[in-house]
A and B are shown apart, each in its own frame.
Chain A
Amino acid sequence: MGILEALKNIFDTKFSNILNNNKFVLFDFSKNTENTLEIKKDGTLSIDLSKVSAEERKKIKEQIIDVSIQNENETFLLDESKNKTTSIKANLPKDSDKKILEFYHEKLRPDWNKALEMSLVVKNMSQKGEDIKDIKRDIRKKYPEFGNNLCNMVGREYFHEHFKQLHKSMLEEDFDIVEYRNKVEKIVKSLPYTVFIDQYKGYDDFAGEIFFKLSKLKKYGTGKLLLHGLGKNNVKTTLKLIEKERDTWDITDVKIELNKNKTIITATLYF
């Protein structure tokens, strides 16, 4: 018996003009403005539980809600949550995104993998122009230390390229998965005070960006700025920037982490 038939059974001859003369695809429980049953603009039949008798309410629970959930194996959700689940389902990682999850599965901690998966959903939603505020807020709330930065970095495809490249470079030397994991975590957590030295910008652009970020950070005070580069050319650029621009930055110290092959550099500027 479908929901409409069950309602006819429960309400007997009441509301027969609505129940006998219409077909409904969706039913919702809502506090209606005037009547127990109302047809909404989108054709949904709305039922106000506060206006039905105790006996009718009991029958609605047993004959409609319990049957849907248990016999039909259907969800019974808040409308907003149903919409949110629908949206997540439509944007679940597929194909190349699935490969990203597989790549990081054994490399990152379980919490980071969960945040990564959800961030891929956000990236897909964003690419379709869908509203991502609610889900980004959930990521920030669950992982306040790194969720927001990780989500932003997934959107900018750092996990598709940069961190895979970092892994490849680290594999060329004595590889330690914990060291790799720590490096990824450090970079993600320090995103607001990191400059990525890459091939897409020139020396002068980076010199300007570092100077600008330093002046901002000095005002709001984190005490350090990270320069991170991958690949021989970017390492060279980073070292050149430190050597030539250091005096203009007004910093107190520089700590340089450089691998043996000189393909990975993380320089911390203290001020």
Chain B
Amino acid sequence: MKFGNLVFDESSKEEVLKMFGKAVDDEGYIVEEENTNQRVLTARGEEIHFDEWAGVVQGSEAFVKSDAFSLIELAKRIN
């Protein structure tokens, strides 16, 4: 995997999330737009709060959290 030359910033985070067919529930967690009872999970099975969402890698469903422990795993996979 490599860093893409495409990023988004905080101001467009919600728009980007919508493009992936996701929404945010009452508690601030990312959910499927078509089934808001279904929270989106990381590859490790963790729910993702909107504030903690870092982006997407390898496949449209591979959502990543923004904490250092999630990003260190990503950093090790980047060439």
- Knowing A29-B12, A69-B59, A84-B66 are in contact, say whether A75-B4 is a contact too (CB < 8 A): yes
When C-beta atoms are compared, the residue in chain A nearest to B11 turns out to be A31
Say yes or no: is A198 at the interface (Cβ < 8 Å to chain B).
Answer: no
Q: Which of B16-53 contact A (CB under 8 A)?
A: 16, 19-20, 53
Do A74 and B6 touch (CB < 8 A)?
Answer: yes
Do B53 and A29 touch (CB < 8 A)?
Answer: no
Which residues of chain A are within 8 angstroms of B54 by Cβ–Cβ distance? Answer: 77-78, 81
Q: Which of A119-150 contact B (CB under 8 A)?
A: 121, 134-135, 138-139, 141-142
Cβ contact of B68, chosen from A26, A28, A82, A88, cutoff 8 A: A88
Q: How far is the CB of B64 from chain A (nearest CB, A)?
A: 7
Which residues of chain B are within 8 angstroms of A142 by Cβ–Cβ distance? Answer: 67, 69
What is the CA–CA distance of A92 and B67 in the complex, to the nearest angstrom? 15
Segment of A60-68, A164-172, A232-240 in the binding face? A60-68
Which residues of chain A are within 8 angstroms of B1 by Cβ–Cβ distance? Answer: 73-75
Do A68 and B4 touch (CB < 8 A)?
Answer: yes
Residue of A49, A57, A70, A76 ringed by the most chain B CB atoms within 10 A: A76
Cβ contact of B57, chosen from A3, A50, A76, cutoff 8 A: A76
Say yes or no: is A259 at the interface (Cβ < 8 Å to chain B).
Answer: no
Query: Per-position contact with A for B1-14: 1 when CB-CB < 8 Å, else 0?
Result: 11111111111110
Do A78 and B53 touch (CB < 8 A)?
Answer: yes
**Which residues from chain A sit less than 8 Å from chain B, CB to CB?**
3, 25-31, 48-50, 57, 60-61, 64-66, 68-70, 72-82, 84-86, 88-89, 92, 114, 117-118, 121, 134-135, 138-139, 141-142
**Which residues from chain B sit less than 8 Å from chain A, CB to CB?**
1-13, 15-16, 19-20, 53-60, 64, 66-69, 71-72, 74-76, 78
